[in-house]
Amino acid sequence: MSQELLTDEIKQQLGGVGPVEIVVGIPSYNNARTIGRVVQAAQVGLLKYFPERRALIVNSDGGSKDGTSQAVEQANIDSQQVLLVRHALYPVHRLTTPYHGIPGKGSAFRTIFRIAEEVQATACAVVDSDLRSITPEWIDLLLRPVLDLEFDYVAPYYKRHKYDGTITNSIIYPLTSALYGRRVRQPIGGEFGMSARVARHYLTRDVWNTEVAGYGIDIWMTTTAIAEGFKVCQSYLGAKIHDAKDPGADLSTMLVQVVGSVFRLMEDYVAVWPKVAASEAVPLFGFPFEVGLEPVPVNVARMHDSFRQGCSDLESIYRAFVPPQRLAELNACAALADDAFVLPDELWSNLIYDFALAYHRRTLDRGHLVKSLTPLYLGWVASFAGQTAYETGSQVEDRIEHLCQVYEQLKPRLIQEWGIGAGEKRPES
């Protein structure tokens, strides 16, 4: 199946490159403005930190019309300005290729993994093409734990603005930590390092016509690595500055794909997560330093209005799977004035578990179910923004860690109500 991903032309180009130890993949779609610098940073990182290893940079593009491929080709570095401790033994090769399959980041990753397999790479890293804060050190931090310390999966650890990554902060990080017991702070961060072993494993999975082909790829890779016992760590990369968007704008598709992937993975790994009693930290590499962060615009009033409207318009849907007492608490929150509005952590965590249970039971069409979470998520962001307006980054981080603890405390209710069907393996006691 994976053989069909690469055209004869691409295979011929790879044959000219020969065996490669490191592949750095950059998925793209209309990123001409930023991708050149990302390619340059990756090239300098490979030359500076891995001068004795053969390397290949792969741009897997989704049909860009803005000159992205040309920007990759033209992204050269001035060797006179780059200080290298050792002269590189091999040049860093570059390749741009279209990907095939469902449009999305996951399909791009699949092509990158297939190329890494074709060139017999030992390690692979992937980085987003819209990054403005990437440095050559990122390449070292993503690959060194794999190459020198035998880790299989390296997740990124960033300093982010308190309103950047709110889907991660409200749902993905606390839920995956509670479910699988490993505190990976940015499970959908966008930049990852991985061993050839785990990359090959991803290619064998029959998921590429699902949400995984789109926004679901990051959480699927992270969850698979943790749940299937691969050796996982994090690397501190500093600030992630990219083309951030207002958390309330154009998010339904991402929310449906990412949260839908998390819920689907709960079914895939029902033999794993009910046995996990508590979460623990994973190793963190790199030096955590303070960084300046760009502000992220948040339209609190608009999000609060969307929350109120959603609670009203979708009440009949929520009534199908949210217990009456909890639905009454939700409606009481919707009735609060803007300056008094708070969505409590316990209510929010229980609501996410209600959605997970409804997804499992197929109470409603799964796509419609997860999409109906959108106004409630906007309510969480509005509540979070109101409570943290004057808080420091460390205070906000403490608040998110408290939310994680609430998810963990409420997990026994999730396990009790999930049930074990005839076709599901009962978790060990």
For 344-388, what is each residue's pLDDT tens digit?
A: 999 999 999 999 999 999 999 999 999 999 999 999 999 999 999
Check: CB of residue 186 under 8 Å from CB of residue 155.
yes
Report yes or no on 66 lying in a domain. yes
On whether both 304 and 194 belong to a single domain, the answer is no
**Residues 281 and 304 grouped into a single domain:** no
Kindly state whether residues 86 and 223 are assigned to the same domain: yes
The reported pTM is 0.90
What is the reported pLDDT for 244?
A: 55
d(CA 136, CA 41) in angstroms, rounded, equals: 5
Query: In which band, very low, low, confident or very high, does the pLDDT at 332 lie, cut at 50, 70 and 90?
Result: very high
Query: Which pLDDT band, with edges at 50, 70 and 90, does 86 fall under?
Result: very low
Q: Which residues constitute the domain of residue 410? A: 300-418
Both 171 and 232 in one domain: the answer is yes
pLDDT digits (tens, 9 = 90+) for 52-82: 999 999 998 888 888 888 888 888 765 444 4
Sheet bearing 284-285, strands edge to edge: 92-98, 55-61, 22-28, 123-126, 192-195, 153-159, 232-239, 284-285
Residues 25 and 109 placed together within one structural domain of the fold? yes
Look at residues 188, 153, 154, 155 and name the one whose alpha carbon lies nearest to residue 169. Answer: 188
Q: Give the dihedral of Cα atoms 252, 254, 256, 261; nearest 10 deg.
A: -170
Regarding whether 340 and 249 lie in a shared domain, the answer is no
**Final residue before a domain boundary, out of 234, 250, 285:** 285
Name the average pLDDT for the chain.
88
Tell me the pLDDT band of 427, cut-offs 50, 70 and 90: very low
| 277, 305: one domain | no
Which of 257, 285, 313 is the last residue in one of the domains? Answer: 285
Q: 363 and 214 in one domain?
A: no
Phi, psi of 245 (to 5 degrees): -120, 160
Q: By percentage, how much of the chain surpasses pLDDT 90?
A: 64
239 or 418: which carries more pLDDT confidence? Answer: 418
Residues 324 and 264 placed together within one structural domain of the fold = no
Domain match, 164 and 252 both? yes
- Angle ∠(397,401,406) on CA atoms, nearest 5: 145
| β-pair type (182-183, 280-281) | parallel
93-97, 272-276, 322-326: least confidently modelled range: 93-97
* Residues 182 and 325 occupy one common structural domain: no
Q: What is the mean predicted confidence (pLDDT) over 103-112?
A: 87
Domain count, the chain: 2
In 3D space, the residue among 238, 376, 374, 243 whose CA is nearest the CA of residue 297 turns out to be 243
